[in-house]
Structure 1
Amino acid sequence: MILSFVSAESAQALLTGFSVLAVAAYAWAAWRSETRPAEGGSPAAERPAWPVHLGLLLPFAAHFLALLVDISGLGLAQAGARFGFAPALSMTAWLVLAVYLVESHLLPLPGARRVLALMALVTVLLALVFPGESRPQAASPWAPLHWVLGLASYGLFGVAVLHAVLLNRAERQMRQVGSGTVGRARSASPGLPLLRLERLTFQFVGAGVTMLSLALLLGWWFTPQWRWDHKNLFAVLGWVVLTGLLTGRRIFGWRGRRATRWLYFGALLLLLSYAGSRFVLEVVLQRPPL
């Protein structure tokens, strides 16, 4: 076990300290995420009132350290790890934010920074209140890879949902321009190349489906008795919906609201798969980990 000499009290203090730091820094980043017009007063040239990476670097790093302390099982009496629905959500938010920090260099994503900061803030608080349950060392050497692939798919679908929301907003603003409300739409114009944004959305969906497929195959392969419990059922249903979305787009050219609705529904099923089922077991029923 990593740093097994650390006591449970010290581990809890580290978790609390990093979490509080991340929450405070995310709140600051969300508050400073307002935009101001650039010189000349052009709304399309608006820029963040606080540098994106400087504003998010500190909470991003503190968030990672809190996850490391929590998930690594630091301070546990027995070798293993600690995990649950809240750390899974927190890790997903951190992965989405990581992609955003890289992508913001290449593509303008206005309005996303505040939403992501607030989302990460909430998940850090959840993970602090519900840090997960102690889990012994995995029986199969493939189990850690299964968990990593599952979390990676969560993060990729989270990024895809973020892009879909921005895509829907941009399309709605374009319709406002066509209906005559030009001034209002122009003042909130995201300045996004729609075709590029749409292409990125489905690239993330495709990558997420690939990761989810591998995670499901590994889970089925190393599990002696596959059970159709709520977690597996929702995961397979989510895979069917998202695979159907990619098939419909390739064959029938699905796009726009129809495509994003499929994406939202598939992502919701996946959210109910692990995070939802673990929330019921850990918080509502208070059962030990399976």
Structure 2
Amino acid sequence: MTHPVLNFLAIAAYAAVGLLLAARLGRGEAAAGAARTSVLAGVLAAVAFHGWILYTDLQLGPTLNLSLTSAFSLVAWVVACLYLLASLYRPIDNLGVVIMPLAALTVLVEWAWPSELPIPMASRSQAIHIVVSFLAYALLCLAAVQSLMLLAQESRLRRKQAGGFVRALPPMQTMEDVMFEMLALGFVLLSLTLVSGVFFSEHLFGKPLPLTHHVVLSALAWVVYGVLLLGRWQLGWRGRQAVRWTLGGFALLVLAYFGTKFVLEVILAR
């Protein structure tokens, strides 16, 4: 089902917030006071329009539409929602420079290339498994974006260029602490996703989780994040080393879900 007006409003709201944040970041100004309130209000409007679109597009009678474009859009919406909530408690406003345009892109892609892949909802446990998995992906996506901001900040400081957008960023220690908070919570949710996936598969298909590309890559991502968190706890990993492991784990997750879905739905047309 297409929603031209809602799609346009969601894309416009995401784009407006992204442009506002980019302009302030370029001037080295952190959003505060009325400016910050307007940013949060814009994000709230965007996720509301986006959520309305998803509410109707994801439902296919008794099944759930989790095609490539729909799942892509759903993950972006969850990321935007978590970004909005986390912005109330943590200094992550600047992540919107990346998150908002990507969310707008997912709405546009789903609007331009709608597709359907009905997934039967066998039980409440299956629904919980799906919710937890999307929350895990969303949190680890936020951590990946935070790591990119941290990398840019460190690169500028290494070259003794503390002006520009660096002035709008929190101290590096704060940036790292927030990133590892996201990683730790995302790792817990990813662990629950893998464990619940085993039980769900055995309940639905009568056998443990099969060793598909999706499962293997997700397990590898779990190992990468586990090693990173252990390295942080035991060896004090930080800076570029932490960024590399964060981005490596997220790349595996992207390949695990969207990579396999792209191959199956687009290349193999299944």
TM-score in same-fold range (> 0.5): yes
1:6 corresponds to which residue? none
1:214 corresponds to which residue? 192
Q: Residues 54 and 44 from structure 1, CA distance in 2 versus in 1: closer, same or farther, beyond 3 angstroms?
A: closer
1:100 corresponds to which residue? 83
After TM superposition, the structure 1 = structure 2 runs for residues 34-113 of structure 1, keeping only pairs within 5 Å, are: 34-35=22-23, 43=28, 51-73=38-60, 76=61, 79-109=62-92, 111-113=94-96
Q: CA deviation at 1:107?
A: 4.2
Matched, 1:152 2:135: yes
Aligned residue for 1:81, secondary structure, equals strand
Q: Which of 94, 118, 122 is matched with 2:101 structurally?
A: 118
Unmatched tracts of structure 1, length 5 or more: 1-11
Q: Deviations over 1:31-88 (max 9, x none)?
A: 3434469xxxx95567659921233332221111111112233xx4xx2121122222
Q: Which of 151, 158, 163 is matched with 1:186 structurally?
A: 163
Structure 2 CA distance for aligned equivalents of residues 147 and 261 of structure 1: 28
Q: Is the 8 A contact 2:7 2:108 kept in 1?
A: yes
Q: CA deviation at 1:135?
A: 2.1
Q: Which of 145, 164, 169 is matched with 2:147 structurally?
A: 164
1:235 corresponds to which residue? 218
Q: Is the 8 A contact 2:24 2:30 kept in 1?
A: no
Structure 1 CA distance for aligned equivalents of residues 97 and 131 of structure 2: 27
Unmatched tracts of structure 2, length 5 or more: none
Structure 1 CA distance for aligned equivalents of residues 24 and 210 of structure 2: 54
Q: Which of 6, 15, 29 is matched with 1:27 structurally?
A: 15
Moved more, 239-248 or 98-107: 98-107
RMSD value, Cα: 2.5
Structure 2 CA distance for aligned equivalents of residues 201 and 60 of structure 1: 23
Q: Deviations over 1:250-281 (max 9, x none)?
A: 12211111111111011111111111111111
Q: Residues 271 and 46 from structure 1, CA distance in 2 versus in 1: closer, same or farther, beyond 3 angstroms?
A: closer
Greater percentage in helix? 2
Q: CA deviation at 1:110?
A: 5.8
Structure 2 CA distance for aligned equivalents of residues 110 and 137 of structure 1: 37
2:250 corresponds to which residue? 267
1:3 corresponds to which residue? none
Aligned residue for 2:150, secondary structure, equals helix
Aligned residue for 1:133, secondary structure, equals coil
| Matched residue type, 2:255 | L
Q: Residues 132 and 239 from structure 1, CA distance in 2 versus in 1: closer, same or farther, beyond 3 angstroms?
A: farther
Q: Residues 214 and 132 from structure 1, CA distance in 2 versus in 1: closer, same or farther, beyond 3 angstroms?
A: farther
Q: Residues 173 and 108 from structure 1, CA distance in 2 versus in 1: closer, same or farther, beyond 3 angstroms?
A: farther
Q: CA deviation at 1:243?
A: 1.0
Q: TM-score, normalised by structure 2?
A: 0.86
* Larger radius of gyration between Structure 1 and Structure 2: 1
Identical aligned residues as a percent: 31
Q: Is the 8 A contact 1:35 1:49 kept in 2?
A: no
